[in-house]
C-alpha cells in the first residue's frame, strides 16, 4: 500500500498527526450512546492522552484533540479526512495561549457536537468496529520527531489497557473485545484487508486513491467486466450489472465519494 505523510500542515509553523481509537465490539450493533457530553469526553481524553504519553513522553508538549463520539470507519475514511479537519478547525478556534500542550475534548451539549462536520452518521453504524478520531498538533520539528516513533510504538504496543477499554465501552454502551490506537494509515491497511476478504479489493483501490492521491485518476476493472474510473473526487462506473452498481454506489457514498453510472453496453 502506498504511504502518505502522517502529518498535514496547519500552518507554516505547526503541523498535525492524525490517528484514532479503534474499538472492536463483541457484537455488531449500534452503540446505545453515540456522542458523549463534555465532562465524560474530557475524562476519556485525559486518560487516552496519558496512555499515549506512556509510549512517547514528548507527546505531553503537544496538543491532544479528541472528539467524544464514535463513527463507522467509512465516515472517517473520506477524501480530505473531514473528521480530522474538523478537529483541527476546532483547535484553531481556541485562543493561542490555550493551545500549548493541552488536552482538548470536544463533547456534545444539548445533544449536538460543536461542529456539524463532527456529527456521526447514524445510518452507517452497526459494524463491530467503531472509531473515535484524535490528533496531535504542535511545532513541525516536534511532530517530525514524534510521528515515526509513535507509529512504531502503536504498531507494537498500541493496544489500550483492559481497564480503559472497558471504560470506553461503558461510556458508549457497547461491550468491547478490545480497543487500540491506530494511525490513519493503519486503518487504511485494516480496511484494505477487510475489503479484499469480501472480494472488493478493486473497489478499495479506488477508495484508497481518493484518500491518499486525490489529484491522480484511478481506473480498475472488476471481475464482472465492469470498470470504475476515479477522477477529481468522482467515480464513473461503466458496464456494471444493476445490483453491483447499486452496491458499489452505496459503499462509495459511505466514503463520501459520489458515483455515476454509464449504461451496460
Is 50 exceeded by the pLDDT of residue 5? no
For the stretch 134-146, pLDDT in tens is: 999 999 999 999 9
Residue 1 pLDDT > 50, yes or no?
A: no
Count of domains in the chain?
Answer: 2
Contact, 168 vs 20, CB < 8 A? no
Do residue 223 and residue 149 come from a single domain? no
Q: Which of 168, 193, 218 is the last residue of a domain?
A: 193
Strands (E), 81-187: 103-106, 129-139, 176-183
* One domain for residues 71 and 189: yes
Q: In this structure, are residues 141 and 102 in contact, taking their beta carbons and an 8 Å threshold?
A: no
Spatial contact of 68 and 41, defined as CB atoms under 8 Å apart: yes
| Residues 6+ positions from 240 with CB-CB distance below 8 Å | 222, 224, 226, 248, 261, 264
Same domain flag for 186 and 218 = no
* Euclidean distance between CA atoms 162 and 142, whole angstroms: 30
pLDDT in tens, 189-206: 999 999 999 999 999 999
User: Is the separation of the CB atoms in 203 and 248 below 8 Å?
Assistant: yes
H or E segment to which residue 76 belongs: helix 73-76
Out of 151-155, 178-182, 209-213, 246-250, pick the least confident.
Answer: 151-155
125 with 215, same domain? no
Amino acid at each position: 500500500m502506498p504511504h502518505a505523510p502522517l502529518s498535514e500542515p496547519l500552518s507554516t509553523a505547526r503541523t498535525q498527526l492524525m490517528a484514532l481509537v479503534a474499538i472492536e465490539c463483541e457484537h455488531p450493533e449500534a452503540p446505545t450512546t453515540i456522542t458523549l457530553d463534555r465532562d465524560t469526553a474530557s475524562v476519556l481524553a485525559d486518560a487516552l492522552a496519558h496512555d499515549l504519553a506512556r509510549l512517547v513522553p514528548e507527546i505531553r508538549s503537544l496538543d491532544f484533540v479528541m472528539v467524544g463520539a464514535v463513527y463507522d470507519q467509512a465516515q472517517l475514511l473520506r477524501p480530505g479526512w473531514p473528521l480530522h479537519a474538523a478537529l483541527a478547525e476546532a483547535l484553531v478556534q481556541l485562543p493561542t495561549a490555550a493551545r500549548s500542550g493541552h488536552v482538548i475534548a470536544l463533547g456534545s451539549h444539548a445533544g449536538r457536537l460543536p461542529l456539524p462536520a463532527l456529527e456521526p452518521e447514524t445510518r452507517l453504524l452497526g459494524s463491530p468496529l467503531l472509531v473515535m478520531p484524535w490528533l496531535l498538533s504542535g511545532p513541525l520539528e516536534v511532530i517530525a520527531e514524534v510521528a515515526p516513533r509513535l507509529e512504531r510504538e502503536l504498531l507494537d504496543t498500541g493496544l489500550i489497557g483492559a481497564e480503559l477499554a472497558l471504560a470506553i465501552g461503558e461510556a458508549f454502551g457497547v461491550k468491547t473485545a478490545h480497543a487500540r490506537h491506530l494511525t490513519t494509515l493503519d486503518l487504511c491497511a485494516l480496511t484494505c484487508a477487510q475489503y479484499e476478504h469480501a472480494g472488493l479489493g478493486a473497489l478499495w483501490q479506488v477508495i484508497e486513491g481518493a484518500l491518499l492521491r486525490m489529484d491522480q485518476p484511478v481506473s480498475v476493472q472488476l471481475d464482472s467486466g465492469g470498470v470504475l474510473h476515479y477522477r477529481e473526487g468522482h467515480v464513473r462506473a461503466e458496464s456494471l450489472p444493476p445490483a453491483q452498481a447499486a452496491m458499489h454506489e452505496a459503499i462509495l457514498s459511505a466514503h463520501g465519494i459520489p458515483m455515476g453510472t454509464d449504461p451496460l453496453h
